[in-house]
Amino acid sequence: MSESEAYMVKAESQGSHRETFRALNPLGPVLSALRLIWDFTESNFDTFVIPNTSFGILGALASSVVTEGSQLSATYILIRTPLVLLFNWCNVLNFDLANQRHPESLQEDQLNKPWRPIVVGKITPEQTRRLMLITIPFALLLNYLLGVWKQGVFILIITWLYNDIGGGDELIRDPLISISYGLFNSASLETAVGPKSRINSQGVAWVAIISGVILTTMQIQDLKDQAGDRTRGRKSIVLVFGDTASRASIAVFICLWSFICPYFWGVGLPGYVLSGVPGAVVALNVVSKRTREEDARSWRWWCFWMITLYTQVILYNAGL
């Protein structure tokens, strides 16, 4: 037997062993599916799923302030935390599946996010479409069981407007994202407090304020993605109004909201310091550091800054 033939026999034997292992490992398909879900949602997990989950949990810890029910115990909220996380992750998955399967998205991701599953060939756009035939009904059922089906339906409508109608490529993009955040945040809070409590007028105002923060500062995520956005003709604020103007606008609004949010809750110096310090870091980075890597770092700082805004209600509830 030649060396090449021996190598082929060895490779076939190893392949057979791998197939046997997969057949004997019932968790293999499950783990593969979970890994695929993670690959689709990875870029939005710590910048969308975690902040929205944090909004719901932190709001629930001050439930007597933002809901009509009584103050809930920390144990009760801890038990419901996985449900809040599942709600956000499941609904973000549908958005990401819809967002990443279009030809223009593939072209953009080859420049901005070349690790995404369709780009690297783990799944095809057609298979992604078929996967959505499963994930969308699952999300609808989950949202209904959690008692947030109204927000869930509008989240799917915005997902359709953003991805399939092209709203994500127009100036209406940021308003759509802002409304989407409001829906996710209100549903996260309702999921965290459970079916016996409902958001009161102060809670609704708080959700609206955070949506205002998103509307005026969310374009920070577009700074790092300018190359890919330009190839698909996306009318992001940074491309329409210019890089310098967009950075100045972001810095100004971050400073304003770092003051407005503590003022809304009437908290003392700890509240202003808590949001003001990371806000100043983000604002300074945005105007002074302009490489793609630095813009990605500013985006992560922005996500952390958002969570500091969410904690203002905790400070108010604690009497600080």
Q: What is the pLDDT along the chain (320 residues), one digit of tens a residue?
A: 444 344 333 334 444 444 444 444 566 677 888 888 888 898 888 888 999 999 999 999 998 899 987 788 999 999 999 999 999 999 999 999 999 998 888 888 887 788 888 998 888 999 999 999 999 999 999 999 999 999 999 999 999 999 999 888 898 999 999 999 999 999 999 999 998 788 999 999 999 999 999 999 999 988 988 877 888 788 888 888 898 999 999 999 999 999 999 999 999 899 999 999 999 999 999 999 888 889 989 998 999 999 999 999 999 988 76
Does some domain include residue 105?
yes
Chain-centroid distance of CA 169 in Å reads 18
Does some domain include residue 17?
no
Does some domain include residue 223?
yes
CA distances from 233 to 95, 166, 208, 212, 314 (A): 20, 11, 30, 26, 42
pTM, entire model: 0.86
Q: Enumerate residues 6+ apart whose C-beta is below 8 A from 59.
A: 66, 67, 188, 189, 192, 193, 203, 206, 310, 313
Q: Measure the CA–CA gap between 125 and 163, rounded to whole angstroms.
A: 14
Does some domain include residue 313?
yes
Closest of 66, 60, 301, 313 to residue 193, by C-alpha: 60
Does some domain include residue 49?
yes
Specify the number of domains making up the chain: 1
Does some domain include residue 273?
yes
Q: How many CA atoms lie within 13 A of 275 on its CB side?
A: 29
Q: Enumerate residues 6+ apart whose C-beta is below 8 A from 189.
A: 55, 56, 59, 60, 66, 67, 199, 203, 207
Q: Enumerate residues 6+ apart whose C-beta is below 8 A from 125.
A: 101, 102, 103, 106, 118
Domain that holds residue 229: 45-317
Does some domain include residue 32?
no
Does some domain include residue 106?
yes
